Structure 1
Amino acid sequence: MDEGTVRKSGPEHLKAKQIVYYVLGVLEVLFTFRLIFKLLGANPQSPFVSLMYAVTQVFLAPFSGIFPSAVTKGLETQSVLESSTIIAMIVYAVLAWGVLKLIEISRNSHNSEIH
């Protein structure tokens, strides 16, 4: 293998890691918004809140029904603690960590083949 191959593999792995971090960051921010909106009893008819619920629901579907949600009824709003959102945040973070480790393993095995 020539030196060009060695130099090229580093940035590719770095880019892959940056993409994983970016996707995880976006998901975690969306889940955090959802968690806060549910806890504070945000109006689900609000376009922004409705959008956040719709986008995050796709990623929360595998975790629905694991535990019941804690609901507190106030005078004007209903506060909901969705345990599925918290579980999803943890699971996606662990999955991202696993993918990052696989990228590291791939990079290390690629470098050992070159040397």
Structure 2
Amino acid sequence: MNTSQVQHTHEKNLKFRKVVTYIFGILEVLLAFRFIFKLLGANPGSPFVSAIYSLSELFLQPFIGIFRTGVAQGIETTAYLEAATLIAMAVYALLAYGIIRIVEIMKKPQA
């Protein structure tokens, strides 16, 4: 491979890495909002909170049931410590890293 081909391959890998990081970054932020809202007892009747819960539910499904959800009943709100959300965040972060590394390994120019 000549220098321009190596540079072109590197640019394509960089773009792929940015896309994967962006997509999984959005998912991580969505799950972080869910975790914080549940922990602070946010009102699920609020349209924004309801949207976050609905959007994140699909991505949380594989992790529900690993641990019990901790519940603290307050005077005005109920707070939940949803460990499944933390596990999902860790797994999706590792998945993003793994996808990026596999593609980088596969696309490495041959000497």
Settle same-fold status: TM greater than 0.5. Answer: yes
Output the TM-score relative to the length of structure 1.
0.89
SS in 1 for 2:18: helix
Q: Report SS of the residue matched to 2:103.
A: helix
SS at match of 1:75: coil
Q: After TM superposition, give the deviation of residue 20 of structure 1 in Å.
A: 1.2
How many angstroms apart in 1 are the aligned matches of 2:96 and 2:2? 32
Larger CA deviation: 1-10 vs 12-21: 1-10
Matched positions, count:
111
Aligned to 2:105: 105
SS in 1 for 2:76: coil
Residue ranges of structure 2 left out of the alignment (5+ in a row): none
1:33 matches 2:33: yes
Aligned letter for 2:56?
T
Residues 22-56 of structure 1 show CA distances to partners (whole Å, capped at 9, x for unaligned) of 11211111111101100110000100000000000
TM-score w.r.t. the length of structure 2 is 0.92
* RMSD between aligned residues: 1.4
User: C-alpha offsets along residues 39-93 of structure 1, whole Å, 9 cap, x if unaligned?
Assistant: 1100001000000000000100111111110000000100001011000000001
**Partner letter of residue 35 of structure 1?**
F
Corresponding position of 2:60: 60
SS in 2 for 1:79: strand
Q: Distance in 1 between matches of 2:30 and 2:11?
A: 28
The percentage of aligned residue pairs carrying the same residue is: 48
SS state at 1:55 partner:
helix
**Aligned equivalents of 1:75, 1:43: Cα separation in 2:** 13
